Amino acid sequence: MYVAVKGGENAILNSYLLLAAQRRGDNRLPELSVLQIQQQLKLAVDRVMNEGSVYDPELAALAIKQASGDLIEAIFLLRAYRATLPRLGITQPLKTERMSLQRRISATFKDLPGGQVLGPTYDYTQRLLDFTLLASSQPVPTAVTHNTEEQPGRIDLAVTPRVVDLLNNEGLIETRPIPPGDPAPVDLTREPLRFPAVRSTRLQNLARGDEGFLLAMAYSTQRGYAHSHPFVGEVRLGQVALEIVPEELGFAISIGDIEITECEMVNQFAGSKTEPPQFTRGYGLAFGHSERKAMAMSLVDRALRADELGEPIESPAQMQEFVLSHSDSLEASGFVQHLKLPHYVDFQSELELIRKMRAASSQTPSPTVPGVTA
Amino acid sequence: MNVAHEIELAPLTELASGDVQSNFNFAYLDERTKRMIRRALLKAVSIPGYQVPFGSREMPLPYGWGTGGIQVTASVIGPKDVLKIIDQGSDDTVNAVNIRRFFERTAGVATTTHTLDASLIQTRHRIPEIPLQEGQVIIYQVPVPEPMQRLEPRETETRTLHGLAEYGLLHVKLYEDIAKYGHIATTYDYPVLVNGRYIMAPSPIPKFDNPKMHMNPALQLFGAGREKRIYAVPPYTSVESLGFEDHPFEVQRWDAACALCGAKDSFLDEVITDDLGTRMHVCSDSDYCQSRQDASRSAHGEAAI
């Protein structure tokens, strides 16, 4: 006999309990603290802050704990929290040439003012499982430095000019002057995305975009889907001051530092009727230590400038609507997973249709029933 | 819907009782966001069937699970409203239960399963069988607001087509169905022409429900959270399902009646009852089915006395 789908509320409340038990795991083991996650899973925390659009390592760590380490779920938690926060002010543009650097890499020049600093990176680790980490409580050795005057991995320059600025001195790279009137950028968290989207809007979308999606899009530009001849002008990681200008003061004050990763990608450009051959730029900026994200973002940013630079738009990475409408992990994850919801009614309609088509096709010799798009 | 709700809102402390969350604003959204959404709604009501972009917020429920409907409901609901939430016609499916619980917790309003008792009905994929009344508001959850999206995915293009009322694409699609299969092969989310001007996605309701939208006395609001669009059909507005003179719009019909209440006029879901594939048909509208069963039971009861 048919049993109606009742008792949904009990099932939901029970699912909370089962989830809590799954999250906690074996009770005999000590529980992870939010502080441990914040300190020891830093790169996960950084990703959640980026795509969650909130710079708050503690809340990001809390979200990771609550989501049992599912980063997209953690991003969702942080975004839903963020949506309830008021916007109190707008910061001044970041002065990244003044940031305090922990890492700074250029692939275009062997040496340059400010130098190359490897800093903390997995780049040259040989990816062998480190079985010593299986044992707990390993003391961490401190970095060795040849120059005892300096702190390890720190560049002590008040200003470290960006590579693009150095190229700019020769006029070999495009400049991006502040547009007349310096219009305020659209805030995608308050206004819907409209097409065509200007570059600042695109960059905000990419900054919030899913790292995996951006990585694949960026990768596609290197494999012939959009012409791209990129060089890493520079990747830098460090602390940068956030400044606001309170109305009652009328001058900028620092409200604290945040850690960021910045990438300037330098791309070949053959020139156009109005522009001489020169290098063009793709830009990536991310919270925390997020090089993969910043680099992918800069490649996609450059590909999305095809229209502005008069390049033919042929590949997905160059198509604004394709990239920007599908970059958000919340939108993608929600809509893909909504297929779990009941679709009895729509399915019933399709069932009727398929039967009708099969009845019709059994009368005619054509045996194939074309797929029905849903 | 009452735009003056803001003024009428009782203080939160009065509403906060039991499970109601007092650390969120009434119905979760802050008042500025509600105002923004109400403005979009007013525009939508003024231009029936036109998709109004709005600054959809990230809700604590996933995109694709009703965030548009929830934001519209949260923006028009007042403390005196009586809310009904259905998914696939049923009040009891988990998503409907979850959204109802969300509003019970954040707004503390009365809820009902009875269509006629509800002042607001939020729905996914169905319109109740019992005709709606003047003064009622039905809020549809919309996954894909653009009726041409599967034919032309670029919004810049579809926007122009709407602007020019150039709907050839949709007619060609229906024509191709007829050429291939001999009939129109769209069964749900069947496109409609609203007020003789805009073609609109009715949301994935079965086309069985399409005729109910036409000249409906209730206000019909549509929210698409992920796609950030709101649209509306004001009361007593013409809603015409697309068709051709020689192949007019048709709705589904069943040979069966509901196995529980005997209804022959309602949308029936098939339920498989054993592993031999035995099937029965039951009403998709659980309230309609239940009230018919109650009515027949009390009729029989009275007869016995």
Distance between A211 CA and the closest CA of chain B, angstroms? 19
Joined tokens for residue B211: 């005729």
Nearest to A194 among B53, B154, B271 (CB): B53
Annotated active-site residue in B69, B89, B108, B258: B258
Which residue of A81, A341, A361, A373 to mutate against B (max B Cβ within 10 Å)?
Answer: A341
Q: Are A296 and A214 in contact (CB under 8 A)?
A: yes
Indicate the pLDDT class of residue B18, thresholds 50, 70 and 90. Answer: very low
Q: Do B67 and B187 have their domain in common?
A: yes
Q: Do B261 and B133 have their domain in common?
A: no
On chain A, the residues whose CB falls within 8 A of the CB of B182 are 360
Whether residue A345 and residue B260 make contact (CB cut-off 8 A), yes or no, is: no
Nearest to A334 among B63, B180, B286 (CB): B63
What ranges in A25-115 are assigned the alpha helix state H? 34-40, 42-52, 57-66, 71-82
Active site residue B261: yes
Q: What is the tens place of the pLDDT at every residue in A27-66?
A: 999 999 999 999 999 999 999 999 999 999 999 999 999 9
List beta partners, residue A280.
A267
Nearest to B156 among A82, A321, A346 (CB): A321
Provide the pLDDT for residue A148: 43
On chain B, the residues whose CB falls within 8 A of the CB of A12 are 94, 97-98, 101
Its pTM stands at 0.87
In-domain check, residue B163 = no
Provide the pLDDT for residue B21: 62
In-domain check, residue B166 = no
Whether residue B92 and residue A335 make contact (CB cut-off 8 A), yes or no, is: no
Whether residue A344 and residue B284 make contact (CB cut-off 8 A), yes or no, is: yes
In-domain check, residue B161 = no
* Domain CATH code at residue B34: 3.40.50.11310
Instruction: Please state the ipTM of this predicted complex.
Output: 0.84
Whether residue B62 and residue A79 make contact (CB cut-off 8 A), yes or no, is: no
Number of folded domains in chain B?
2
- Give the residue among A270, A300, A262 at the shortest CA–CA distance from A282: A300
Annotated active-site residue in B78, B108, B225, B261: B261
Indicate the pLDDT class of residue A245, thresholds 50, 70 and 90. Answer: very high
Q: Do B211 and B76 have their domain in common?
A: yes
> A209 pLDDT exceeds 70?
yes
How far is the C-alpha of A160 from the C-alpha of B197, rounded, in Å? 60
Q: Write out the residue range of the structural domain in which residue B270 sits.
A: 253-305
Q: Do B183 and B301 have their domain in common?
A: no
Q: Do B188 and B283 have their domain in common?
A: no
> Where along chain A do its domains lie?
11-82, 96-120+150-175+191-330
> A161 pLDDT exceeds 90?
no
Active site residue B243: no
Q: What is the tens place of the pLDDT at every residue in A105-156?
A: 999 888 888 889 999 999 999 899 988 888 877 677 777 765 544 444 555 5
Taking all residues of chain A, what is their mean pLDDT, rounded to a whole number? 88
Contacts of B190 (CB under 8 A, 6+ apart): B202, B207, B210, B241, B242, B249
Over the Cα atoms of chain A, what is R_g?
26
Q: Do B68 and B142 have their domain in common?
A: yes
In-domain check, residue B48 = yes
Active site residue B49: yes
Lowest-confidence pick of A163-177, B132-146, B156-170, B263-277: A163-177
